[in-house]
Structure 1
Amino acid sequence: MNLDPRLLALIVCPVTRTRLTYDPERQLLISDAAGLAFPIRDGIPHLLLDEALPWPPETGSFSPAHP
């Protein structure tokens, strides 16, 4: 599922207020400034710090399937 480009143009990182980069393969919104990746589930970005993943991921420890 692809994220609507209009939505991507509006949302920002909740930590730094900078633009997010969309990774369609992993279904993540990435904040390089904050070093975090926010999951997208069922087409809905989850921009909560509790759900953020460290970015870039350490080799072998990354799992975008976050329940």
Structure 2
Amino acid sequence: MAVQLDPQLMDILACPSDDHAPLRAGSPADPDADVLTCTSCGRGFPVVDGVPVLLLDEAIPPVEAPPSD
């Protein structure tokens, strides 16, 4: 199930890291995942019962891109 948050809330949510980049719904691997992904660092923040968990300690590390040939 994809994250369904109010568009106004999505406009103000940002990654809690120092760069404070905007977040987008889903992950690169699964656009329907219940996660918000930082557009800068790539960390994923889980959404639990409709509430984003914006804690760096709870973040999902960014997925490394496979090496290109």
Q: What is the TM-score of this pair, normalised by structure 2?
A: 0.72
Partner of 2:42: 35
Query: Following TM superposition, where does structure 1 have runs of at least 4 consecutive aligned residues deviating by more than 3 angstroms?
Result: none
| 1:6, distance to aligned residue in structure 2 (A) | 1.1
Please identify which structure carries the higher strand content. 1
Distance 1:32 1:54 in 2: 13
Partner of 1:21: 24
Partner of 1:12: 14
Amino acid at match of 2:6: D
**Structure of greater Rg:** 2
| 1:57, distance to aligned residue in structure 2 (A) | 6.3
Partner of 2:61: 54
Distance 2:10 2:61 in 1: 20
| 1:56, distance to aligned residue in structure 2 (A) | 2.1
Q: Extract unaligned runs of 5+ from structure 2.
A: none
**Equivalences, count:** 58
